[in-house]
């Protein structure tokens, strides 16, 4: 009867799929402008984890990004027609400082919600380099997906925390650090650890000089005792 009661309790316990799923992470990716130089990743897009499908991303781009007329309008600080692009990419497997982790997606926001938010968080029918560009779109969308204030999203981008943090490089202690360590070892040997901690550097130096003079005087007395004719 106890086993039957236990089975009934387990069957009645709510176990929804959403409660067991891990939180989806939200990233901002830096990339070169379409048709721009590869060494200048200044364009931004927002990506959210989409399970086995990798990452689903959105960015705000001009409708005709490589047209000379579009470039002319943007450079002269005039608006140009824009569109929200949807992207599918695989999750990067190597450390990449162009992928910035912003935070976890809100649990009640699914991929369809993300698609809707990408087109409604800010006006997306026109792009202007100053007032309505990819950076503004990315900040607003990442904020809507994670629930973080836009300022916190901006700070995450400025810190440029990579998607997969790189391991810290092994460093060799500097010469000053090695000398300091050797000096500390010598102080402990001469004075003992408790006493060495109570003396200032000047006092320790004076004590070391006095000990050296005392040692020299003892050695001189020993030489005189072993050679009476001196």
Nearest to 86 by CA among 51, 50, 52, 122: 50
> Using one digit for the tens of pLDDT, what is the confidence trace for 71-82?
999 999 999 999
Rounded Cα distance between 186 and 36, Å, is 60
| The pLDDT value given to residue 10 | 43
Least confident of 50-59, 99-108, 137-146, 177-186: 177-186
Radius of gyration of the chain (CA): 34
Check whether 210 has a pLDDT greater than 80.
no
Is 85 buried (19+), middle (13-18) or exposed (0-12) by CB count in 10 A?
middle
pTM of the entire predicted model: 0.61
Check whether 89 has a pLDDT greater than 50.
yes
Share of the chain above pLDDT 70, in %: 65
Check whether 137 has a pLDDT greater than 70.
yes
Cα 36 to the center of its chain, rounded Å = 26
| The pLDDT value given to residue 39 | 87
Is 44 buried (19+), middle (13-18) or exposed (0-12) by CB count in 10 A?
buried
| The pLDDT value given to residue 13 | 45
| The pLDDT value given to residue 98 | 87
Q: For the chain, what is the mean pLDDT? A: 77
Check whether 8 has a pLDDT greater than 50.
no
Nearest to 29 by CA among 127, 142, 131: 142
> Between these two residues, 212 and 190, which has the higher pLDDT value?
212
Rounded Cα distance between 6 and 159, Å, is 51
CA end-to-end distance (rounded Å), the chain:
108
Handedness of CA 151, 155, 157, 162 (dihedral sign): negative
Rounded Cα distance between 96 and 44, Å, is 14
| The pLDDT value given to residue 170 | 46
Query: Residues 23-35: what's their mean pLDDT?
Result: 91
Nearest to 101 by CA among 54, 159, 58: 159
Rounded Cα distance between 60 and 83, Å, is 6
Check whether 111 has a pLDDT greater than 80.
yes
| The pLDDT value given to residue 212 | 72
Angle between helical axes of 150-159 and 134-146 (0-180°, round to 10):
110
């Amino acid at each position: 009867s106890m086993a039957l009661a236990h089975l009934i309790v387990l069957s009645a316990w709510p176990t929804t799929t959403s409660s067991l799923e891990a939180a989806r992470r939200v990233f901002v990716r830096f990339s070169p402008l379409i048709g721009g130089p590869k060494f200048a990743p200044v364009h931004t897009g927002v990506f959210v984890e989409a399970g086995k499908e990798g990452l689903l991303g959105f960015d705000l781009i001009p409708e005709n990004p490589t047209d000379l007329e579009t470039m002319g309008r943007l450079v002269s600080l005039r608006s140009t027609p824009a569109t929200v692009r949807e992207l599918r990419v695989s999750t990067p497997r190597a450390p990449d400082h162009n992928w910035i982790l912003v935070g976890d997606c809100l649990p009640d926001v699914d991929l369809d919600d993300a698609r809707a938010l990408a087109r409604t968080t800010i006006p997306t029918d026109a792009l202007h380099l100053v007032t309505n560009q990819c950076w503004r779109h990315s900040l607003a969308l990442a904020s809507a997906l994670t629930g973080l204030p836009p300022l916190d999203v901006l700070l995450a981008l400025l810190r440029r925390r990579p998607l997969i943090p790189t391991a810290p490089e092994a460093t060799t202690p500097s010469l000053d650090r090695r000398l300091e360590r050797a000096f500390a070892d010598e102080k402990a040997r001469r004075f003992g650890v408790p006493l060495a901690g109570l003396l200032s550097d000047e006092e320790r130096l004076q004590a070391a000089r006095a000990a050296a003079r005392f040692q020299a005087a003892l050695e001189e007395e020993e030489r005189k005792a072993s050679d009476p004719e001196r």
